[in-house]
Structure 1
Amino acid sequence: MKRNKHKKGHFYWLLARNYISFTLALVISFSFIAIVATLRISGVLKNEENSTPDLYLDILKNGNYEDFPVEDLLDIDGSIVILDENLKPIYQSSDNINTTYSSNDLLLIPDYNMNSYTHAETYIDANDKERILVTSYVYKNKTAVNQELWIFDEQLNVIYNTRNINISTLTPLEFSYLTRNINNSFEAMKYSFKGNDGENYTMILLKSLINNKTLIKVSHTIKYTLWTFLILYLIMIICFIYWLHRKVNKPLALLDEAILNFSTGDYDMGINYSGPTEFVQICDNFNCMARRLSESEAQKKKLENEKKKILANISHDLKTPITVIQGYSKAICDNIIKDDQKDLYLNIIYQKSQSLTELINSFSEYNKLDHPDFKLNLTKVDICEFSREYLAERYDELEVAGFLLDADIPEEILTCSIDSFQLTRVFENIISNCLKYNPRETTLFFNIEKADDKVKLTLGDNGLGIPNESSEHIFEPFVVGDSSRGTKEGSGLGLAIAKKIVQEHHGKISLKNPPSQGFSTEFEILLPLS
């Protein structure tokens, strides 16, 4: 089977390929966005790690505490308090913050430059008493190098600590210093330095846990990342849907246009589409349907024209004998005709009525063959034996008419499924024409031979022959006499009926032009072997 060059693979493969491409594009886009977001977050965290009081030590040593970048180091709500050696506050960056710190407070507040992590949790000991466990880890190069444990009871009495600090009880504020969480709002850290005046100072740094600039930047980065991905995802979805719409809508639009043209009677406008196999197949099927309907419409018009022609011809052929019969019978009834001429007139009336009957019978048979309910009564018959019997029955008639018979029928059995009655009519119509239009001493030929999976029957004569201009229309209805043999006799439906009968047998009948040597007229009938 010839492959359709317009086909470009199955539609589901096209969907699969493009969906995979869409997924890969989505993954690549998301990966790119994630990488950019990760680099941005890493930059923010790196800036926070690199931002330490050590960078501003000169400001602290010179005592220019107002120039210390509190917000950059401690976020928006952060504050600092500078304490001298006696723990007396000498500077505070904002009002309403605690400026009173004891030596115990400084022991519990973690150092700023110490990368540590503190975790507090409650548990029930073996005596069913609630205890508080505080664990601190000190990290160096992301590895824990020191661990500190504190255990408290419900009143924050110190039960155990690994620092061997002589503290028996902590206040809630001191406990918040230890856990780096002041009222769930600030984280306290300390930084010690020596001023240019030789005095030792301690800076208390209060970093906001709520308005953490780093967390806000990270949160914004994540939010923008998600929004960017969502927008990109929606754009890609819209593009994919638009692409799918174009792929599906294009053949549907072509099909819709073709159907509209089809409804107006334009059957010749085919669909020229190149794309997925399924859509190409639909368009091809539509083109095939349109072509068949166009051929059917043309055939219908041809049949209608033939029917009109048949009606016109039969009206004409009926009119002539009826007019003669009416005129002659009227003359006899009015006693216009002499007595010695009445027999002649009656004989003419009888002959015309015979012609009229023949014409009506032929027309009736022709229409019956065209009826959808017409069916052959097929039986398997040896076509050679069947033909010999038929010729034997007609031999005497041919001899009386002065015609010769030359039959060449093989002895082998050639079986065909035929309707004996209808096939006999085919032979009768062809041979009757030979007898009607040829002079005496004309030889009739009847030959049978096997041709592959068919039987070829040859019927003809060496008489007057058929003019070339009439041979093309010989099987059309009402082709008689003056248009074929030079006379106007018969109904002109014999060969048309013969053709229909042969076609009903799934065979073929034709007039060979030019005929074979020795023939003037040669009909060839092909019938399938059973």
Structure 2
Amino acid sequence: MDNFFLHARTWASEHLARASSSLARRCLACIVIYAVLLLALVAGVTVISDARGARLYASSEKVAERILSSDLEMINDYEDNQFYEVLLEDNVGSTRYRITLCGLDGESGMMDADAWCVLDEDLTVVEGDLFADRGRLTQREFDFIKGAYNARMTVERYDYTTVSGAGRTLVLVSPLVTDASFARAVAEANRLWLYALPVAIALTGGAAWYLVHQMKRVTLPLDRAIDAYRADGGGNGISRAKEAEKTIPIELAPVYRNFIGLMDMLRDARDGQKRIVADLSHDLKTPLAVLYGYAMAFCDGRVPKEDEQRYHRIIAEKSLAASELIDTLAAYAKMDHPDYIPHLERRHVDELLRDIAHEAASIAEQSGCSVEVKLSNTAAEEVPPVLVDEQLLRRALLNLAGNACQHNPAGTQVVIFCERVPAASPRDELVRISVADTGSGIAPEIADTLFDPFVTRNTARTSNAGTGLGLAITQKCISLMSGTIYVAKRPREGFATEFVIDLPVAP
């Protein structure tokens, strides 16, 4: 249980650290702080009551406690055509207030008095029918009638109906604006510009510096990983890049992972190039060394007359082997170039396979083997057409058939099968071409790297093992036609090895 909580705490701390390292959050926080510092907020107080006067919401509890439901009728309605008018009357040395409930005529716009009353200095109703039921007003009620919440705030109400039909009353308390306060605010605003402008410039510069600093900061781990990779040739650079991923913002984590993958690909490509150059040098060195030795024997006059014909034949064979190796390497480099474009045609492959098998049979006879074609049990025209480059398909199948004859004992039978592979959707249908032989099979130690360049059945790499480029070229030919090639794990009955080529049906 302790281990569980320890792992949970570790996991939570790591994820919280990753969340706090978010570049977007840091930039957003900077922008929010910048906006808050620049904006001046004007605060108001709002109270919302229902139709019965019960308070539903208040933005200030202190203000809401001073406004009762009985006070609502004293507060002027913002949109109502009725409002209270308060006039001061001088009555023989005493102060009296005349309150009139005025109404506006919607058509003429004339003002009429609906009700009135007169208050004495103590705010007692001495005349009129308005507020006669109260008899006397409090100072707060009298202020509400005048539209004043206090000396600095005004108050008014707004009656409305909700979507569901319920009545609501909105009471709004806001700062009092007078001519003097307005003039004072304008003067203060004009003076404020003298101070606000440099502050705004400083805030803008600080925010810009912070954002630029954050953008530069997040690229430092990647720069360090690249420098480390350059310094040691990729040995520890990849591991350092993976460690650097823990310190970067989560938004850039995919970029770092893609960088690591790219570095792996570059390292593999570089190692592959080194291996190809080393293997090519090894394969060329053997025939060239034989050519040099026999040529020097002729130059020194140390070749017996009876061995001259045999020496000439060996020189010709080694020259042909070196030439074939160079031609094969040139073909491999040509097809591996990104600008190489195959010449694809819509073809039924049955007749093409017969021509290729006939050409391969003449090569197989030299090894004492045989090559034949077997189509599927269905009629040939039912095998759908495919998009193929005839030269690429010919080279691929001749390589497979030639390898089967070269690396197997005499009497090996090589059969090329062709069949249709149905699917639920016509777009997913395939034409399958298989090259199977009855030879000795494939050595397990090279099965996983069979299609890599310079891989042969003879791990000692003698001159009799072939160039090791045949299957690599075959795989490239098939991939250029959007197909796949693989070795069947369970060959057809009666066969030791089966190479399977799947080509998509032409649209």
Which TM-score bucket, shorter chain as reference? 0.5 to 0.7
Rounded to whole Å, the distance in 2 between the matches of 1:319 and 1:496 is 21
In the TM superposition, what is the alpha-carbon distance from 1:294 to its structure 2 partner? 2.9
The equivalent of 1:386 in structure 2 is 352
Structure 1 residue identity aligned to 2:223: L
Partner residue, 2:392 = 422
Alpha-carbon distance in 1 for matches of 2:98, 2:39: 38
1:141 Cα deviation after fit: 4.3
User: How far has the Cα of 1:13 moved from its partner?
Assistant: 11
Q: What is the percentage of aligned positions where both structures have the same residue?
A: 26
- 1:302-359 CA-to-partner distances (Å, cap 9, x unmatched) read 1221111111111122111111111112112222111111111111111111111111
C-alpha distance 137-261 of structure 1, shift in aligned 2 (>3 A): farther
Q: CA deviation at 1:426?
A: 0.4
Q: Does 1:328 align with 2:294?
A: yes
Alignment correspondent of 2:370? 403
Matched letter for residue 300 of structure 1: L
Structure 2 residue aligned with 1:357 = 323
Q: 1:437 to 1:339 in 2, by over 3 A?
A: same
* Counterpart check, 1:26 vs 2:2: no
Change (3 A) 1:30 1:335: same
What is the identity, as a one-letter code, of the residue corresponding to 1:383? V
AA in 2 matched with 1:380: R
Q: Of the candidates 234, 251, 255, which is equivalent to residue 218 of structure 2?
A: 255
Question: What is the 5 A alignment of 1:89-488?
Answer: 140-143=95-98, 252=215, 255-261=218-224, 263-264=226-227, 265=229, 267-268=241-242, 269-270=244-245, 273=249, 280=251, 283=252, 287-288=254-255, 290-395=256-361, 398=364, 401-403=368-370, 405=372, 407-409=374-376, 410=378, 411=380, 412-451=382-421, 452-483=428-459, 488=464
Which amino acid is 2:458 matched to?
Answer: D
1:259 positional shift: 4.5
* Mapped partners of 1:354, 1:259: distance in 2: 51
In the alignment, is the contact (CA less than 8 A) between 1:415 and 1:529 conserved in 2?
Answer: yes
Tell me which of the two structures has the higher relative contact order, counting C-alpha pairs closer than 8 angstroms and 6 or more residues apart: 1
Q: CA 1:513–1:251 in 2, change beyond 3 Å: closer, same or farther?
A: farther
1:260 positional shift? 3.4
Counterpart amino acid of residue 468 in structure 1:
P
How many residue pairs align between the two structures? 341
Aligned to 2:54: none
RMSD after superposition: 5.1
Structure 1 contact 437–485 (Cα < 8 Å) conserved: no
What secondary structure sits across from 1:488 in the alignment?
helix
Deviations 1:454-490 (A, max 9, x none): 3222212120111101111211222224229998332
Residue aligned with 1:27, SS: coil
TM-score by length of 2: 0.55
Q: Choose the corresponding residue for 2:470, options 494, 497, 519.
A: 494
Deviation at 1:399, TM superposition (A): 5.9
Q: Deviations along 1:151-198, whole A, 9 cap, x unmatched? A: xxxxxxxxxxxxxxxxxxxxxxxxxxxxxxxxxxxxxxxxxxxxxxxx
**In the alignment, is the contact (CA less than 8 A) between 1:116 and 1:137 conserved in 2?**
no
Structure 2 unaligned residues grouped into runs of 5+: 1-17, 47-59, 64-87, 101-179, 230-236, 422-427
Aligned with 1:520 (options 496, 500, 504): 496
Tell me if structure 2 keeps the 8 A contact 1:454–1:526: yes
Is the deviation greater in 471-480 or in 443-452?
Answer: 443-452
Q: In 2 relative to 1, CA 242–314 (structure 1 residues): closer, same or farther, beyond 3 Å?
A: closer
Contact 1:445/1:460 (8 A) holds in 2: yes
Shift of 1:450: 3.0
Q: Unmatched 5+ residue regions in structure 1? A: 39-114, 118-135, 146-217, 275-279
Query: How big is the shift at 1:512?
Result: 2.8
Letter paired with 1:420: E
Q: Give the 3-state SS of the residue equivalent to 2:485 in structure 1.
A: strand
Which residue identity lines up with residue 442 of structure 1 in the other structure?
A: T
Q: TM-score, normalised by structure 1?
A: 0.52
